[in-house]
Structure 1
């Protein structure tokens, strides 16, 4: 991978510099190693980046009151999705399952009875994330819940760069919609994962399974880049 030593465009988030600072502050050995692995510079071409598609299912939508019940991870590049390296965990949540959450993700009380805690999977999770750019569909969920889980457990911060396929889709349809459509108050296109995939002729998958949704998100980013962006687009133009 091409090594770039600086961030010539100050408008792009400089995650490399942030990781250097966080590595010095981290007390937990696994978290310190994660930050020491670093992250690619913002100007790196997106076709040179190692990604990790990620999805979490939760007991609710409030990271302060609810918790993670499953995590799905799949490493990939623009050229290939590494399904053989996928990881999936059902976890024992720190908050109660609700009837509504079970309806969404279909993870029952029986399945979590002997499931590992978040603490038990933290080290392999950090190892999988090290050196990669996360890809999610709606970053406010994954980033908030993972950050809160680590803060609750370690009293330390978990930070990571994210490309949000939902945000990329929102940008596209905000531009397409234009001023005339807004004037006429036409409804916006849905940017939910399944609806976004359908626009790129990607197959329909069963929703709300963390590993399946991670795969669906990886495929969606590949389609978005192939259709709407150049492979030489700097990763910093797309991440948050």
Structure 2
């Protein structure tokens, strides 16, 4: 059975999470194995520092004053990724930030999580690297560029296209499988829990958690807490896959 996907994009204060740069917005798009969107979510994140290049991500300091910190959404975020292939465009960038934020949130990861890199595979199949160029080449609409949800949606569309190209490519299948294995079997978060990446991830500091329900509902709760400061492109939506309506 083919795996489903979880596409992630982050907007950040800068380029170096290993120093002091932080996530200021995160977008997640969940798709079925064919790349059709099932659910999407985004939230501003309070980085507890200056906001970085507003000219790029369009987020001002006032926008994040009431937004959750990353630790507030870490547990349900990991739950939402459970059993899916995690994808990002320029995955090393997004995974470096995810690694750093999870570490600050009390998860101990010995190494950076891996993910399927749509930029790498677009370079192989399309010859382009930048998300905007890839989307233009294959006819995918890119709206709200440099917003976390806008870029995640466009990447999800690119993944759908790449999935068709890679259907008989053993390297694509191996890369997809590795990303799925590293994210499979995520446990309930909490003190002493491991996050399920194959290289290990230990939660070192317990704290009160949201009630255990559908993780997508739990992320909706996180979004609601900062709804008054969400930028116009930020939203949460559940989409019924087309084949379910037939």
Q: Please say whether Structure 1 and Structure 2 have the same fold, judged by a TM-score greater than 0.5.
A: yes
Report the equivalent of 1:128: 80
Give 1:92's aligned residue: 46
Give the 3-state SS of the residue equivalent to 2:124 in structure 1.
helix
Q: Could you tell me how far apart the structure 2 residues matched to 1:74 and 1:166 are?
A: 17
Aligned length in residues: 175
Q: Give the SS at the match of 2:105.
A: helix
Q: 2:147, 2:71 → 1: CA distance?
A: 21
Distance of 2:56 and 2:36 partners within structure 1: 26
Map of 1:81-160 to 2, 5 A cutoff? 81-83=36-38, 85-98=39-52, 101-154=53-106, 156-157=108-109, 160=113
**Residue of structure 2 in register with 1:76 after alignment:** 31
Alignment check: 8 A CA contact 1:71 1:210 kept: yes
Paired residue for 1:192? 130
Matched, 1:58 2:1: no
Distance in 2, Cα, partners of 1:214 & 1:117? 20
| Residue 78 (structure 1) shift | 3.6
In structure 1, the partner of 2:154 is 216
CA displacement at 1:232 relative to structure 2 = 7.6
> Runs of 5+ in structure 2 lacking a partner?
180-246
Scaled by the length of structure 1, the TM-score of the pair is: 0.66
Q: Is the aligned partner of 1:162 residue 2:99?
A: no
Q: Deviations over 1:142-183 (max 9, x none)?
A: 10001011112215017644111101122336xxxxxxxxxx
- Is residue 66–residue 94 contact of structure 1 (8 Å, CA) maintained in 2? no
User: What TM-score, normalized to structure 2?
Assistant: 0.65
| Equivalent of residue 207 in structure 1, options 125, 145, 149 | 145
Please state whether the residue corresponding to 2:10 is helix, strand or coil: strand
**1:232 and 1:140, CA in 2 relative to 1: closer, same or farther beyond 3 A?**
closer
Q: 2:128 & 2:175 partners in 1: Cα distance? A: 23
Matched, 1:171 2:124: yes
Q: What secondary structure does 1:86 align onto? A: strand
Relative to total residues, which structure has the larger helix share, 1 or 2?
A: 1
Aligned-residue CA RMSD in angstroms? 2.1
1:134 match: secondary structure: strand
CA-to-aligned-CA distance 1:122-157 (integer Å, 9 cap, x gap): 111111111111111001111000101111221501
